[in-house]
Structure 1
C-alpha cells in the first residue's frame, strides 16, 4: 500500500477474522454546481462550502488508524488532505464509488421530476423496480458495497476506520450491516458531510449513530 501522500493506493485483498473494529462513514461535502444527481458520471470537486463542511465535521484531530475513500474527486480529494494532515495511511477503493444513475446524472431532481414525473415518482416509490434509465441496479450496488465493506473490515481488524464516500454508499453500508432490504435504503437521510458510526465487537454489530453533523467520540456504556 502506498503512503497517504500518494492518494492512490488500493485496498488489500487479504481476508482475516474481524476483531473489535469501529467504522466511521462520512459523505462528501457540497460539490461545485450545488444539488444535482451526480452518481459516477458527473464528478465535480468540492465547493468552498463543501470543504468547510468536511473540515468542520471531522475537527482538528481524528481517532482513525486508516482512511479509505471512493475514487471520485468529491470524496478522494478531502480524504487525501485529511490523511496527509493526520499522517494516516490512505487506501482508495474503486468499489466504494457512488451508484450509477444513468440518464439522470448531471440533472437536478426538480428537473427530472418536472420532465419525467411518472418515472421519477415510480423511482421514489420503489427504487429497486424502477431504476433510472441506464442506472445501476440497487441489487448490484448491494453486492458491490457489501463485498467491499466486508473486505475492508477483514483487512483492518481491530482498527478505527474512516470511509469517505457518498450518500448511496453510506446507505448501502448501513443496509448491509442491518440486513435491510434495498427498497428501504432511501428512508435513511445522509446529508453533506453527515457522519455515521458502526461498531463490530465480539458480541455483535451495532449502529451507533447516523448522519451526525460533528464527529462524536463518546460511546454508550
Structure 2
C-alpha cells in the first residue's frame, strides 16, 4: 500500500458486484508489526504535560534594588527543569513579583506550549489578581498582568498561594539576583531530560554565559514577533531615542563615555538640540522626558523640555558606556596604544576597554534592565529618552534580536532620532533608526 513502510500490515478489501468495498472475512485486531513505523518512538501517555512554576520577587527599599527568581518543575516527578533569575534595577516589590511570574510562564511555554501550568507564589496580591478575584488597579502592574495572561491560552494556568517557607527555591534565586546588582542577569539550567524534550536548540543554549544568554533569549522572542500587535493588545510603551547634540569631541570621533571629561554641547550641538525640540513639538506626541545624567544629554533634554513644557527626569540607566583608558582618544590612537585590547573588544562582547571600562555585554545587561523597568512604568505612553550612541544601539539591537556585532554595523548621527515600541506581550517593533531629517535647513 503506498505510503506505508515495507512490511507494514493492513486490512485488505475486495470489491462487491457494484464496486462496493467489503471485508474478506471477520475483522480482527492485528498485533503491532515490528517493521512498521520505524521512525516513531513509543508513546508514554496521551495526557497533557504539566508543569509547576514557583516564582518570587523582592525589592530592598520598595522601590529599591529589585530582582526575581523562578523555577519550572515537572509536576509528575518534581524534577527541576529551568531556573531563572534577573536583577531589575530599582522597582517596587509587586512589580518584581509580576516579573518573576512572567519569566516563569515564558520558561514553561518554551519547554512545551501545550502544557498545563500550576503557579505557586507567596504573593497573595499576584495570586488573587491573576485568579480574577481581585482587581488590578496599579498602572505598573496592569501591562505585566496582561502579558502574563497571554503566555498560555485561557484555562491552562492555575494559581495557588503558598507560605514563604514553601517558596524557598524561588526566594533564593530572587536574592541572588538582588545580590548581583546587574553583574549577572539571568541563569537558565534545563535538566538533561528537559534538554531532550526541548531539542537541539535548547541544548546549544546552555553553553552561553548568563548575561549573553538572557540577551539572546530576549532577542529570539523579538525576532519571532510580528511587526504589529493585535488590536486588543493596547497602546505600546513607545521610546523615542534621541542622541545628544554635538560636543567638541564628536566631529573628532573621539571616545566619549561616562568615564571621561563630560563635555558640554558645542554651538553646533545646541542648535541641533533646538531643531530636535522644534520637530518634537510639531509632532506633539511626547508625554515624558528622561535623560542620561551626563551634561550633554541633560542640555539636549532641557532644550526639548523648554519647548514642550515638560519636566526632565534623570535616569542613570541611560548613561553612556565607560570606555576606560580610551576616553578622549580616537580609534586610531587606541589601535596604536592598545592593539591587543582593541582587537579583543571588537571580537568579544565580554571584553572590556583598557583600564576596566564597561563591556558591551555589561551595557546590554544594564540597558535590558532599564528598558524593562521603563516599559512597566510607562505602559501606553510615549517617552523621550535622551541618551548616547551605545545605549541607543543596544535598545535597537535587543529589539531586533540582532547579535552583539551588529553594534558596529549601525550609524547614529548626533541629535538623530530612533523609535522602538514595546507591547504588553513582550514583543518589540523598531519604527525608526537614525532619522536626521529635522536637522536639515
Output aligned runs, 1:169-208, within 5 Å.
169-201=391-423, 204-208=427-431
Superposed displacement of residue 127, structure 1: 4.4
1:55 to 260, 274, 295: 274
Paired residue for 2:322? 100
1:212 aligns with 2:435: yes
Tell me if structure 1 keeps the 8 A contact 2:321–2:358: yes
Superposed displacement of residue 53, structure 1: 1.9
The alignment's TM-score, normalised by the length of structure 2, stands at 0.43
Cα deviation, 1:157-193, whole Å, max 9, x if unaligned, reads 1111110000001011112222333233222211111
1:46 to 239, 243, 265: 265
Superposed displacement of residue 198, structure 1: 1.1
Cα deviation, 1:91-120, whole Å, max 9, x if unaligned, reads 111111001111101212222123334433
Q: Which residues of structure 1 form unaligned runs of 5+? A: 1-10, 216-221
Tell me if structure 2 keeps the 8 A contact 1:21–1:160: yes
Query: Cα–Cα, structure 1 residues 12 and 214, in superposed 2: closer, same or farther, change >3 Å?
Result: farther
Aligned equivalents of 2:392 and 2:293: distance in 1?
15
Aligned equivalents of 2:422 and 2:329: distance in 1?
38
Tell me if structure 2 keeps the 8 A contact 1:69–1:90: yes
Aligned equivalents of 2:382 and 2:403: distance in 1?
27
DSSP-derived class of the 1:59 partner: helix
Aligned equivalents of 1:191 and 1:109: distance in 2?
17
Tell me if structure 1 keeps the 8 A contact 2:325–2:353: yes
Paired residue for 1:36? 254
Aligned-residue Cα RMSD (Å) equals 2.3
The alignment's TM-score, normalised by the length of structure 1, stands at 0.82
DSSP-derived class of the 2:293 partner: coil
Aligned equivalents of 2:343 and 2:271: distance in 1?
34
Q: Mean alpha-carbon deviation: is it higher for 79-88 or for 200-209?
A: 200-209
Aligned equivalents of 1:71 and 1:195: distance in 2?
19
Paired residue for 2:213? none
1:161 aligns with 2:383: yes
Paired residue for 1:7? none
Aligned equivalents of 2:246 and 2:368: distance in 1?
26
Superposed displacement of residue 36, structure 1: 1.1
Superposed displacement of residue 122, structure 1: 4.0
Q: Which runs of 4+ in 1 moved over 6 A?
A: none
Superposed displacement of residue 210, structure 1: 0.5
Structure with more relative contact order (C-alpha pairs < 8 Å, separation 6 or more): 1
Superposed displacement of residue 85, structure 1: 2.6
Output aligned runs, 1:71-150, within 5 Å.
71-124=293-346, 126-133=347-354, 134-150=356-372
- Whose Rg is larger? 2
Paired residue for 2:373? 151
1:68 aligns with 2:290: yes
Aligned equivalents of 1:201 and 1:33: distance in 2?
37
Aligned equivalents of 1:48 and 1:117: distance in 2?
34
Q: Which residues of structure 2 form unaligned runs of 5+? A: 1-88, 96-139, 144-234
The count of residues paired between Structure 1 and Structure 2 equals: 204
Superposed displacement of residue 121, structure 1: 4.0
Tell me if structure 2 keeps the 8 A contact 1:13–1:155: no
